[in-house]
Amino acid sequence: MFQSQVSVLVAGLFGLQMAVVFAVLQRTPGMGRAGLNAWVAGALLVTAATVLLAAQDYLPEWLTLNQVDLVMTAALSSMVYGTRCFFGKRGGVLALCLLNLAVLANAAYFDWTGGAPTEPALVFILANLYLSLGLLRVVAPQVPAKRGTGRLAALSLGLIALACVAMGVYQAIDLTLLPAGLAWLAKRPPRETFTVLHAFGIVSLAVSFALLAHDGLRRRLERRASYDDLTEVLSRGPYWEALEEACKQADRQQRPLTVAFIDLDHFKAINDLYGHLAGDSVLRHFSGLLRKSVRADDFAGRLGGEEFGIVMPGTALDQGRAISVRLSALVRATPCPSEPDAISYTVSIGMAERLPGEGADTLMLR
C-alpha cells in the first residue's frame, strides 16, 4: 500500500510542478489569453485529487473515492476548456459546468442513499470519456497544421487523450457487461487502480500541453524578432535574409525574380503637418494595403522609415509592374482614416528584375 501511495504522490508532485510551469508561461507577454489559467487550475486540482487518494486510509469515512473522482473530473474539465481557448475555440463553458454539476449530484445522491458501488463509478467513467473525446476532437485537427516540436506535442496530447478514451471504454464495458456473466472479466482491477491511472493520464496531458504552449511562445518570439512591430511586415534584417535566399532559389530553379522598392511620398510633410502619431497610422495603413496586395509566394518588408520592399519570386518584370500599378492605385483610392479628415497620400515604386547570378545588394541598388 505504501508503494502505491508514493506513486500517487509522485503524480501529484508532477501536477504541482506543471501548475508552476503554466503559471510562469501565463505571465509571459502574449500568452495571457492562451487558456493557461485553466491549465493551472486543472493541474492544481489533479494534485489535490492525488493527495486525497493517497490519504484515503487517514481521512473521514465520508471522503471516499467519489470525491477523488469528482475532483479529477473537474481537473480534466478545466484542461479541456484551456485547450479550447489555446486553439481559439471559445464556448463550451455551459456544457462543462452542467457536466460537473451532474457528476456532483450523482456522487451526492450515492453518498446519501448508499447505492450500488458501480453507479457513481459508471457516471464518472462516462463523464471523463466524454471529456477525453472532446479533447481529442479539438487536438486531432491541429496535428497536421503544426510543425516540428509543435506537431510532436500536439500528437502526444492526442495520443494520451486517445489512451484515456480507450481506458474509459474498457471501464464502461467492464462495469456494464460483468453482471451479464462474462467470466473473462471476473478478475476486475480495483477502482483505485483506474483512478491512479487516470491521475497519471491527466498529468501526462499537462506535460504535453506545456510543450505545446512552449512551442507557441517560441513562435511568437520568433515572429516578434522577424517582423516590424508597427507595420507587421518583415523588418530589414529578416527581409534581406529572405531576399538572399530567394536569389539562390532563383538560380537553382532558373526562374525570374522581381523586386519592388516603395517609398511613401512626402512622408516628412505628413509628420510635420499631422504629427508623428498620424504618421504611424499612415505607415500601418499602407502596410495593411501592402499585405493585401502581395501574393502568397511574395513577401514584403520595411527597410526603414517610410521605405518598403516587395520580393516576387517566379515573377517577370511585366508581371511585377502590374502588381505595383494595382498597389499604387489602391493607395490613391484608399486614404488613411484620421480625425477630422482622412489623410491622402501616394507612393513611388521602383522595380528591377534580377539578372542571372546577381546578388541581393546589387539587385536592390538597381
CA distance 36 to 23: 7
Collapse the DSSP code of 37 into the 3-class scheme (helix H, G, I; strand E, B; otherwise coil) and give the result.
Answer: helix
Q: Max alpha carbon distance in the chain (Å)?
A: 89
- What are the residue ranges of helices labelled H in the chain? 2-26, 36-54, 65-86, 93-113, 118-139, 149-177, 191-226, 236-253, 267-274, 276-293, 317-333, 360-365
* DSSP 8-state assignment for residue 297: T
Separation between Cα atoms, residue 62 and residue 127, nearest integer Å: 22
Q: Do domains 2-226 and 236-365 have the same CATH topology?
A: no
pLDDT at 40: 93
Lowest mean pLDDT among 56-70, 149-163, 179-193: 179-193
Residue 216, pLDDT above cutoff 90: no
Q: Which percentage of the chain shows pLDDT scores above 90?
A: 39
The confidence score (pLDDT) of residue 183 equals 44
54/8 Cα distance (integer angstroms): 6
pLDDT digits (tens, 9 = 90+) for 23-60: 988 888 777 667 889 999 999 999 999 888 888 777 67
What mean pLDDT, rounded, does the chain reach? 85
Compute the distance between CA of residue 122 and CA of residue 101 in angstroms, rounded to an integer.
16
Residue located via cell numbers 530589414: 236
Are 146 and 214 in contact by the 8 Å Cβ rule? The answer is no
Query: 100-126: per-residue pLDDT in tens?
Result: 998 888 878 777 776 555 555 778 888
Helix (H) or strand (E) holding 300: strand 299-304
The predicted pLDDT at position 326 comes to 93
Instruction: Give the chain's count of helices (H) and strands (E).
Output: 12, 4
Work out the pLDDT band at 257, boundaries 50, 70, 90. very high
pLDDT at 62: 64
Domain 2-226 has CATH 1.20.1070: yes
For domain 236-365, is the CATH number 3.30.70.270? yes
pLDDT at 182: 46
pLDDT tens-digit readout, 304-338: 999 999 999 999 999 999 999 999 999 999 999 98
pLDDT band of residue 181 (cuts 50, 70, 90) is very low
Rounded Cα gap, residues 324 and 294, in angstroms? 9
In this predicted structure, the answer to whether residue 280 has a pLDDT above a threshold of 90 is yes
How far, in Å, CA of 1 to CA of 8, rounded?
11
* 42, burial (CB in 10 Å: exposed 0-12, middle 13-18, buried 19+): buried
pLDDT of residue 330: 95
Q: Pull the grid cell for residue 284.
A: 500601418
Model pLDDT for residues 77-96, shown as the tens digit of each residue:
999 999 998 888 877 888 89
Is the pLDDT confidence value at 180 over 70?
no
Task: Name the pLDDT band for 185 (thresholds 50, 70, 90).
Answer: very low
Grid coordinates belonging to 76: 480534466
Cα–Cα distance, 145 to 27 (Å, whole number): 26
| Per-domain boundaries in the chain | 2-226, 236-365
Backbone torsions φ then ψ of 300, nearest 5 degrees: -120, 155
- Which pTM value belongs to this model? 0.68
- Does pLDDT of 166 surpass 60? yes
pLDDT bin (cut points 50, 70, 90) of residue 267 is very high
Report which residue type is found at 318. D
